[in-house]
Amino acid sequence: MKILEKAIELTATIDAQRKLVLDAPLPLAGPTRVRVIILLPEDSEMDEKEWLHSAAVNQSFAFLNEPEEDIYNLGDGKPFQRNKT
């Protein structure tokens, strides 16, 4: 059985208690369960520190801690020297 879904776009505000407050009433009768997807404005993107922390604790990258992934040492490569022009 295939479940069909439709989308309704509304604007809302997240208040101080972290609750979603719609700007207008929903155009459907309830009670009914719904799925909610929250799209944030681009100015609320994570800063670099938050992004690095998220990547550091994400289990998707846990394999990098395995010994066979440790293929480089301090003797590899050459130091980078910036030309002072």
pLDDT digits (tens, 9 = 90+) for 38-47: 887 776 567 7
At 29, is the pLDDT very low, low, confident or very high (cuts 50, 70, 90)?
confident
* Two structure tokens written together for 12: 């809302």
The maximal CA–CA distance of the chain, rounded, in angstroms, is: 69
46 or 72, greater pLDDT: 72
Confirm whether 54 is domain-assigned. yes
Confirm whether 47 is domain-assigned. yes
| Residue ranges making up the domain that contains 58 | 42-72
Confirm whether 66 is domain-assigned. yes
Confirm whether 59 is domain-assigned. yes
Confirm whether 65 is domain-assigned. yes
Taking the CB of residue 12, how many other CB atoms lie within 10 A of it? 13
- Count of domains forming the chain: 1
pTM: 0.41
- For 11, residues 6+ apart whose C-beta sits below 8 A from its C-beta are 22, 23, 24
